[in-house]
Structure 1
């Protein structure tokens, strides 16, 4: 039994969102939904999330769970917005799920941004254990711990498809950065090994499509295990852990921080809820001159 997979691309953050459904029962999950944010106006909007709702309605799906692969640093999650909208539409209120290690990530960034505990504790309804089995209608699914990009990172294996978030990208893009707090290049190598242990025809659905040169005419959502093993520019078969870790650490030292990192982290540790006071805190760095004069 294979799921129906709707891959929906959000072009402003190059993010893949997925609706994964059981054709027999019309039960569905949504993976990594995006809440639109315009940093030039500090404005949130819901066009991308509303498009997911329209697709759910068009196909008559019932959304059981909103799944996050991890706390994203490059876009805001629409999980809470979707949960509220689906409940108001008369459907059973879906749970928001994420890996069980989310607590350490929440505490780290709550301390950094001065977020009160009552704004993030209990924000997620379901904390998934490593290798936990759950169901999407009659389909069996499994939560798979995929650390490296972040320590809490979880993938979701449904049928012959794994939704791997920001661990592996398409073969011509390679792998995710490991320089965020709790990230680890050795762990990411082991994650790739775990993904490559799946049967060669299984599909690896990625969290983003960042083509290295020119935008593709059609963004690419997945590649097979066999294709990744043969062509992944960072982690193809034969690449040693030592070789990969040295390259990944060197590469990460030259990367700029994601454009929406501060806004995203503050909203995402709250599972998509906005701050009670409506304020997001963005640190300021003084470059040049005498910082003592400011």
Structure 2
């Protein structure tokens, strides 16, 4: 599933192409993709609306439309592809935004898990998501208050979108390796020093991943099938039985918080 750096990369790719575009309609090719309205209802609501900006909240893409919001969650295999006029239809197209210059923004989704909704405000997102990783309010006090009663593993806490929004499996493993914390350590046991290290590692890794246009492991691509470049910088994720770059012991993979988890048993002691 695309995580924060991949979603941010998609936004930076499509924004220059769709900003100020006027919508003349939408085409829905898979009913479940659109979870808030019918195709006819959304066509009426969006007709002649202009896209004012595109932003992100956690892993969600937000298209701003004159005090309304089209919110897109890519899930596992969703992609947003801008297409100029007179180009043949794309395979696995589930939803299309049609512009007055005959161009389109197409949502393709092989596995059909992605979802799109049209909302009057962003309250539902803000109520379910925690702080953004780069928020000035993300500090040790905030994390201490969120983690102090959590006996579960720190890996699961990093995946919990109601605490820090946007971190997924790849970057959770990389963050914990950077601060030398075992993924199964109870979240509530991290002291202030480690919480501070966790915040700095989160911001540093995510920033570098954004600068590298994300990580492509299997499905992620953007802008005519361009791939993310951060994969070459990964230290532990997807490196089971490879040598640790820090100590030359072998990376292991376990199940933690229901997810495949990579770590170095020597650098990240339990």
**Which TM-score applies when normalising by structure 2?**
0.26
Q: Which entry has the higher C-alpha Rg, 1 or 2?
A: 2
